[in-house]
Structure 1
């Protein structure tokens, strides 16, 4: 709305901004579960008046400088360049340490205090990695050089700054990190320090109230990483014992990880020698996992050694041998021991709310939103944090100094609002279709003219990234809730709940199983829109007190074309806003015959014909320009061999002595042990069974977003692709299935399809691969529904959403114009009345 800007400039002297201020606080090394080890009444108080997360997902590596600079910039380490507390730059031919403040090391990212200054705000930093450096030619308005200062002195100074003209204050405390290093994360001394930090939080909250800042300052309190137990004497990996040190020309860092540059020509031999250690993982630079967002920076050396949790990589027998620290961090960010805390409270923060875990890089976007400033380029997503922000729009409110300014601003805003309302609209109906088990590359196996037609008329992706595990119920519920399995609780097609002491299987519609997520048909009902489901996992349950307006009990025997006919009637005759339509093919055929069979090719052709029938029916009912159609699947399919590729658990453990019961089977299995999980899993690992990986619940990889749910059993087993985990091989060998799914969602064979078309979908466009959790915010956007808390991101799908050029008719515009004139007259009359009374 460009004319608003003109009014602001014209009447600047009479306009004052009600922008709220922001205080960002870091308590270094505050592990997420410390609050469970001792009473923390002040952090509890903070959670009560604001929002908390159980933990947030920080960046790799989990060290102080990289993690803090990621929080401040919203960038991963490979983007901002602070890849460690110590590092070497081959271009500078220099080494960085925590006291280095030369700008050239820090210019890879724009921290929040610089973003604020660039846009006319005043920022102040009371310690924070990088805050003493001049970055991109700028510094904070005020900053303190690092020193030993009592935290209460810090709080007094920071709150005074905010009482004055500072808009953004940033404060860092080195505790409880110091105590964690010295004594370890489970020590009594650490617990005392956590209670001291909690008292400091109470002091901060009291000071904000005392200085009348509670209603004016948004407080964001977090940490950079967690802490784990170490033993430098007993748990050490000495590089000198593995490789000839003369083959290495440079190293950097130590402890949880070490960077190594071998002599030219020695890369492979050094790599092979280091890889012999069973207590660390060794990567060539190009092999470092993409999800760490770490390797694409020149400061990362050709070899990276990452120690197992609690172990330390050292140079030789003398390195760190006399150091007495009992705790450390810097390990794999997927470990629960490395997770940090998050709390927020203030006038723009939702109260008494727990948000799902998000990424530490999202905090920069959050801060920019709270400050009403534009973001620099970053890797974060505001969509992951918007659920607990309650402020409305950029520069949320205005206080006008005179009636004339108010009149002009309201008139221009209303005029622009009319213009905006005529262009920023969506069609208001969405049809979500799932073809179960439609693997992304099936369309390459045969002719699919209708999928090709839909791609031309709309948007498609090469594939979507679905959730682990790649089974029907978990992924379908993720699609409609935007939540990972550990959040919505549907962790399998079959599962056991230890609190309910009940078992779930397909067909169970008791709401107690489904209430962990809010599906789209419920979101629609909550905001007075209509919804209907022609089958979908969960759609027969009453969830959070709601059902769809129309729904049908599952009946696989209903032919596909009558399903389409019924749905078209809902859309055309009943004007239902949100409709789901589910087909159990080609999944059933894939199971029976395998993904490479002639039968699957015929079934894919049949499903392409069904898509053609949907497209033709939409034209027949004049819905093509009124309904946004999304066609997708939940997972793919891979070939299995139940005669030759079986892993029989009963041959590894004693099913009577070791196991209470198991759940599920095939690609994965949950095991509830009779003895301690550690003893049973060690027995399984000692058996060294090929093609089987077993995890304690707490070891399940964090990126699967799966392990933190009570329905996940203490031991979780996964099979390599094509292999099946069973409890009785003789029975399994009698089954005839040739295909299955449920394997690691990173496998290409598990990837699903995505197609979309309609009045608000970009035409003839291929979107980059995104996540299936993003479907929920996508549909909410198309229906203009406020989304419930979810793990998705609208940003990843925004590129193919288009608004109608003109949804409102000229009659609607005329009506709005009359209302604008009426409002203008009322305000004018009010002004004149007030003037006459003076």
Structure 2
């Protein structure tokens, strides 16, 4: 049976750098870190430091070799690389497991595609409903729900639930547009911290039985050269290799032999490549370069191992939070660690 005396809340702030969290810039997040515990070097994302792979990891705890979700693309035999939200999770999610235990869950996200990506439609309350943004919703420059819209949606939802998953997206948008260390991004981190503080305030009723896990999914890095790195073109002669590029990293499905690896490493702008599983490799760019030419110049991107650091904080008023605070003060948790930890807290059966 589910632990009815506990509420576990995951708040995920897209692309908020661990290195930019401070008492001056992000006082609300800093307060949770000081009153709780914070991984001193941050958490560690999957090798591909992108949004959809890491959110799948957060909600399932399943390795990409099982889910196929290595990045923002998922490998499906017979189809190839498809956008991960189109494929959805291929492992039981925390939403599935809470429902199976007779519990209640809530999810509110600032990227509507995460509803499909995380299996959020299994939650009892979902926003945006069905993964569709309601008319009149405030949006960021890329068309995702603004932080203020997420806060407004949360105010209209009953947060008395076993599992609550919340997501703020605007740091990712601003960092992409201007770079993660730009004045615009710094200002956005402060503004998003204000929205985060409002989410924490919304949890005040029941705080004494709440554990809050505050995460980011990845960092970002500055792009200095807008010229795309031509990996797919270099591998076009290897008909059994299939490439999916995303920011500063790329996925390659197939048997990467000696000749193909040499071709990858010879591409101007490639830093390195490594095997992720029996049939999937990852390549990444040199600092300041990216694979995909964008319709507009981008100041920031992610994907490479350079962006794997995640924000990782545990706080809350529940007695169960105390040992986790002490643990995380000396830990570097993986993106895959959180779903098993949440399942243990809630007393969920194996998925």
Please say whether Structure 1 and Structure 2 have the same fold, judged by a TM-score greater than 0.5: yes
The partner residue of 1:517 within 80, 91, 98 is 91
Query: Paired residue for 1:762?
Result: 322
Q: Secondary structure at the match of 2:180?
A: coil
CA distance in 2 between counterparts of 1:740 and 1:594 reads: 8
Structure 2 gaps, min length 5 = 134-138
Asked if structure 2 preserves the Cα contact closer than 8 Å seen for 1:638 and 1:741, the reply is yes
Query: Paired residue for 1:625?
Result: 208
**1:737-787: CA deviation from partner (whole Å, max 9, x where unpaired):** 11111111xx3x431101222213229856222222111122112212224
Given the two structures, how large is their TM-score scaled by the length of structure 2?
Answer: 0.80
Per the TM alignment, residue 606 of structure 1 is displaced from its structure 2 partner at its CA by: 0.5
The partner residue of 1:611 within 196, 221, 225 is 196
CA distance in 2 between counterparts of 1:480 and 1:650 reads: 31
The aligned runs of 1:571-582 (5 Å cut-off) are 571-572=158-159, 575-582=160-167
1:648 aligns with 2:210: no
CA distance in 1 between counterparts of 2:335 and 2:146 reads: 27
CA distance in 2 between counterparts of 1:432 and 1:736 reads: 33
Asked if structure 1 preserves the Cα contact closer than 8 Å seen for 2:52 and 2:117, the reply is no
Asked if structure 1 preserves the Cα contact closer than 8 Å seen for 2:224 and 2:289, the reply is yes
**1:514-540: CA deviation from partner (whole Å, max 9, x where unpaired):** 352111111101111111221376533
**1:238-267: CA deviation from partner (whole Å, max 9, x where unpaired):** xxxxxxxxxxxxxxxxxxxxxxxxxxxxxx
CA distance in 2 between counterparts of 1:568 and 1:577 reads: 17
**1:389-409: CA deviation from partner (whole Å, max 9, x where unpaired):** xxxxxxxxxxxxxxxxxxxxx
The aligned runs of 1:360-439 (5 Å cut-off) are 427-439=5-17
Per the TM alignment, residue 496 of structure 1 is displaced from its structure 2 partner at its CA by: 4.2
Distance 1:448 1:648, change over 3 A: same
- After superposing on structure 2, the runs of 4+ consecutive aligned residues of structure 1 that deviate more than 6 Å are none
CA distance in 2 between counterparts of 1:576 and 1:445 reads: 30
Query: Paired residue for 2:136?
Result: none
Asked if structure 2 preserves the Cα contact closer than 8 Å seen for 1:777 and 1:787, the reply is no
The partner residue of 1:753 within 270, 288, 311 is 311
Query: Paired residue for 1:484?
Result: 63
Asked if structure 2 preserves the Cα contact closer than 8 Å seen for 1:427 and 1:628, the reply is no
The partner residue of 1:534 within 108, 113, 124 is 108
Distance 1:559 1:592, change over 3 A: closer
Distance 1:451 1:683, change over 3 A: closer
1:736 aligns with 2:306: no
Bigger radius of gyration, 1 or 2?
Answer: 1
**1:530-569: CA deviation from partner (whole Å, max 9, x where unpaired):** 11221376533796xx822222215355443453354355
Asked if structure 2 preserves the Cα contact closer than 8 Å seen for 1:567 and 1:579, the reply is no
Distance 1:426 1:548, change over 3 A: closer
Q: Secondary structure at the match of 2:99?
A: helix
Per the TM alignment, residue 652 of structure 1 is displaced from its structure 2 partner at its CA by: 4.1
Asked if structure 2 preserves the Cα contact closer than 8 Å seen for 1:496 and 1:663, the reply is no
**1:275-296: CA deviation from partner (whole Å, max 9, x where unpaired):** xxxxxxxxxxxxxxxxxxxxxx
Say how many residue pairs are matched: 327
1:466 aligns with 2:45: yes
Per the TM alignment, residue 571 of structure 1 is displaced from its structure 2 partner at its CA by: 4.0
Distance 1:577 1:533, change over 3 A: same
Q: Which has the higher contact order (CA 8 A, sep 6+)?
A: 2
Asked if structure 2 preserves the Cα contact closer than 8 Å seen for 1:451 and 1:611, the reply is yes
The aligned runs of 1:270-289 (5 Å cut-off) are none
1:453 aligns with 2:31: yes
CA distance in 2 between counterparts of 1:672 and 1:464 reads: 27
Query: Paired residue for 1:722?
Result: 288
CA distance in 2 between counterparts of 1:650 and 1:618 reads: 47
**1:606-637: CA deviation from partner (whole Å, max 9, x where unpaired):** 01111221222323xx2322322222111111
Structure 1 gaps, min length 5 = 1-424, 701-705, 727-731, 789-838
**1:483-510: CA deviation from partner (whole Å, max 9, x where unpaired):** 22222221121344233x25522542xx
CA distance in 2 between counterparts of 1:610 and 1:688 reads: 43
Per the TM alignment, residue 451 of structure 1 is displaced from its structure 2 partner at its CA by: 1.5
1:548 aligns with 2:123: yes
Distance 1:665 1:782, change over 3 A: closer
Asked if structure 1 preserves the Cα contact closer than 8 Å seen for 2:15 and 2:216, the reply is yes
**1:311-340: CA deviation from partner (whole Å, max 9, x where unpaired):** xxxxxxxxxxxxxxxxxxxxxxxxxxxxxx
